[in-house]
Chain A
Amino acid sequence: MASYSDYIVGAPLVDTAAPDGPIETRWERRRFGVKLVNPANKRKMKVIVVGTGLAGGSAAATLAELGYQVSSFCYQDSPRRAHSIAAQGGINAAKNYRGDGDSIHRLFYDTVKGGDFRSRESNVHRLAEISVQIIDQCVAQGVPFAREYGGLLDTRSFGGAQVSRTFYARGQTGQQLLLGAYQALERQIDAGGVTMYSRHEMLELIVVDGRARGIVARDLVTGETRSHLADAVVLASGGYGNVFYLSTNAKGCNVTASWRAHRKGALFANPCYTQIHPTCIPVSGDHQSKLTLMSESLRNDGRVWVPQKAGDSRAPRDIPEAERDYFLERQYPAFGNLVPRDIASRAAKNVCDAGRGVGPTGLGVYLDFADAIGRLGRPAVAAKYGNLFQMYQRITGEDPYEVPMRIFPAVHYTMGGLWVDYDLQSSIPGLFVVGEANFSDHGANRLGASALMQGLADGYFVLPNTIGDYLARGVEPVAADAPEVREAEAAVAGRVEKLLSIDGDRTVDSFHRELGHLMWDHCGMERTAEGLHKALERIPELRREFWQSVKVPGSAATLNQSLEKAGRVADFLELGELMCLDALHREESCGGHFRAESQTEDHEAARKDDEFSYVAAWEFTGQGSAPVLHKEDLHFEYVTPSQRSYK
C-alpha cells in the first residue's frame, strides 16, 4: 500500500491553450480564434452554472444574454447570498484616473510580482486588460461606487500597490458588486433565459465519454436528489478556506463541488496556496465557529504596532511612543503598513511568537487609528471606515475610536483550485471553472482587491467568449438514463444513506474542528516537513474515524443541515490530505506558502525557481492511493522573477 506522502510524477501539462506572441494582443487573438456559435444554435444549448457569487452570477447572466439556456444552482436560499457579498475593501482596475502612473502593464506587473512569480503571465495580463471594462460594466448596472464631489469615481490604495487603483463602495464593495450581478441574473430569470435552482447542492459531476455532461444535485428542502444534464458545466463554487474550520468564509462555504469534479478526473492545482489575511478579529475561544475580517483598507490609515518589550501588559494608551514597535514600517519602509498580505501576516506571527503579542491570548497586534484621527479628524475617519469600526465594536465590545483595534491573521482565501487552461476549461472537456474555484490568476499570493476583479473578469468577459469554442465543436446528446447518469445518482444516494446510517457518537463539528486545528498548526502560516508529516499521518486516521463514528441526526427526506455539513466535512477530510502533500512536496517558500526550511537570512520567503517554477496539478487516483503530479512549467517573458522586496 502506498504511504501517505507518496506521489507519482506524471506527464507534464504542455497545452494551456494560450496564444503566444506579444502579450498585449494574446487575448484579442484568442477571441478571434474561438469558433462562434450562431444565435439560433445557442438557443438549443444548455449550460449549467454552479454557484451564484460574482463569477457564477455574472457568468450565468451573460451566458443567458448571449442566448444559451442556463440552469443556475446555489445552496443558499437566494443567489444574492453567495459569499462574495462579504468582500469589503474594493476592486482593482487599471483606469489610471489619478494620473499616478498606473497602467495595464503596471497592474499586470504588480499582480505577477504579488503572486510571487507562480502565476501565468498570459492569464494575468488578460485580467489587467479586462479590469477597466469591469468598472464600466458595474457603473452601467448602477453599482453605487464611492464618488468625489465632482461626481467622478473615487479610488484608494491597497496592499501590495503604490498607486491608487482600488474602486470601492464604503466597506461593502462585494455586496454592491454582487447585487449588480444578481440583478443582471434576476433580469435573465424573468426573461426566461435562466432557470434558478436555489437551495440545491451539487453532489456529483456526471461525466460521459470523457466529457462533463451534468450534475447530480440535492434539493435541500425536499431532500430529492436528481440529475441535471447539459452541454457544458461551469463551476463557480468558491474556495476551500473552511478546511481550516475557523476562517473568514461563510459557514456554508465548502469544497464539495470542486472535490467531486476532482474525483471524476479534474486536476486540482496548487492546493497548498492559501491566503492568511493579516487583519482579522482575533480568536476569542474554543466556542467560536467563524472569524471576522476587518478590511485591508484599514491599513491605509491604521498603524500596526506591538510593545517593544515582551510581556508588556499595560493598556495600549499607557505605552509611550518610544516603547512601541511599528514593525511593518520599521521592516518595510517603502510599503510600510501596505505590504502584501502574506508578508504582513507573517510579520505579525513573528512578533507574537516572540512574546510581544497583545490581548488576552497574546495572539494579536494593534491597529491604531489615533494618528489618522488626529490628522484627518474623527468625522473624516468615520466617513471612510465608519461601518467597519461599528462592526468591530459590535463583535469585541471595544470602541476603536478610543482604543486601538486588535487584529490577527486568519484564513481568508485560497489561491489554489481546479486546474484550468487559458480558456478556463478544466482537464475534463466541457467542465469550466471560474472565480476562486479555479487556480488561475493569483499565483502563490493574491493582492488585495483582486478577487472581485478576477471573479467578474472570468464571469462577465472570459468564460462567455471561450465556452463558445467548446460548444461550437458540437456535443452529442446524452440520454437521461445513460449508465453514467444512473451511476452518479446511485453514488450520491449511497453516500447520503451511509452518512445517516453510521449513527456513531461524535459530531460532524468535532471532526471538522480537529481537522481545522491540524491544518492551522501544520499547513497554516508556517509549514515544516516534520509538521506536515504529522498531519499526513493523522488525517487519514481521522477520516477513518469519521466514517466509523460520525453522528448525523435526522433524515434525508427533509431540510437537514447536519447532513449537508457532514457531506462537506467528508470532502474536506480528503482535500486536507492533498493540501499537506502539496505543501510537503513544494520544498520552497513562495507567497502564502512558507516553508520554514526555505527562508532568507532576514526570514523572508526564499523561492527556488530552478526546481519549483511550475504549477502543481494533482490527479486523483483513488482514496488512500498515491496521486499523480502533473507539472505545468511557468515561463516569464515580461516580468523577470526576482526576490520580492517591499523595503
Chain B
Amino acid sequence: MLEIKNLRVAIEGKEILKGINLTVNKGEIHAIMGPNGSGKSTLAQVLAGRDEYEILEGEILFEGKNLIEMAPEVRAREGVFLAFQYPIEIPGVSNTNLLKNALNEIRKYRGLEPLDAMEFLTLVKSKMPIVEMRQELLSRSVNEAFSGGEKKKNEIFQMAVLEPKLAILDETDSGLDIDALRVVANGVNSIKTNDNAFIVVTHYQRLLDYIIPDFVHVLQNGKIIKSGTKELALELEEKGYDWLKEIEEELATK
C-alpha cells in the first residue's frame, strides 16, 4: 500500500529525515517510535503533504501512485488520513459541517454520489459509539473549547467517518489519561480491517498495549535504526532511548 524509498526531507535548510525506507501493506499496523526530535512528526506531516518541508530525495508510493506529486487534499481523497498531534480549531464551523463536506469531497473524487443530510446523519450516528462521541460535540465548532481528550477522540471519530485506507496517528496518545487512551485505542481497533493500514507514531510504549502493532520501527536522528515486532517496543521501554545511541554508534562503525 505504502512504499517509502530513501526519503530525505529538510525544513529551512536543515535535514530532518535522512533516508527513510518503509513498506506498509494493507492489514498492517506499524508503530514508529523514537525520542523527541527524531523526525517522527516530520514523517507524519510529509506523508500528509505539508508543504513547508522540502523533499531532497526519495520516493513515496501510495498504491503505486506518486504521493509527493499530490496536493494534500488529493492525498486525503486517495485515502490518506492524518490524526493530528495538535488538532486545529476552526471557529464557527461545526464538526458536522466539516465532516459532511469532507466526506462528500472524498466520495466525489471516487465517483460516488454525495450523501444527503439524512444518509450522512445515519452514517455519523452509527460511528459515534466507536469513540463514545457525545452528540453535543457534533454541532460544536471544530475542536473549539474541546478538552485535550475530546480533540483526540474527535480525530479518531473523523477517521471512522472518512474510512481512510492509510491512517497516520501522530502522537495521538500524548496528553491522554488512561481512560481516554483506552477509548481512543478501542476506536482504532474497531476501525482496523484487513484492507486498511495504520502508522502509529508514538513516544511511549503504553499506547501499544492497546493497539498491537505488527511492526515497530525505531526512528533516531532521521533514520530508522531498528525494526522489529511488538517486543521491540517493550525492550525500548525497558532500556530507554539511551540504548538507541549505542545502536546508532554501532551502525555507524559498521
- Whether A and B are associated in the same complex: the answer reads no
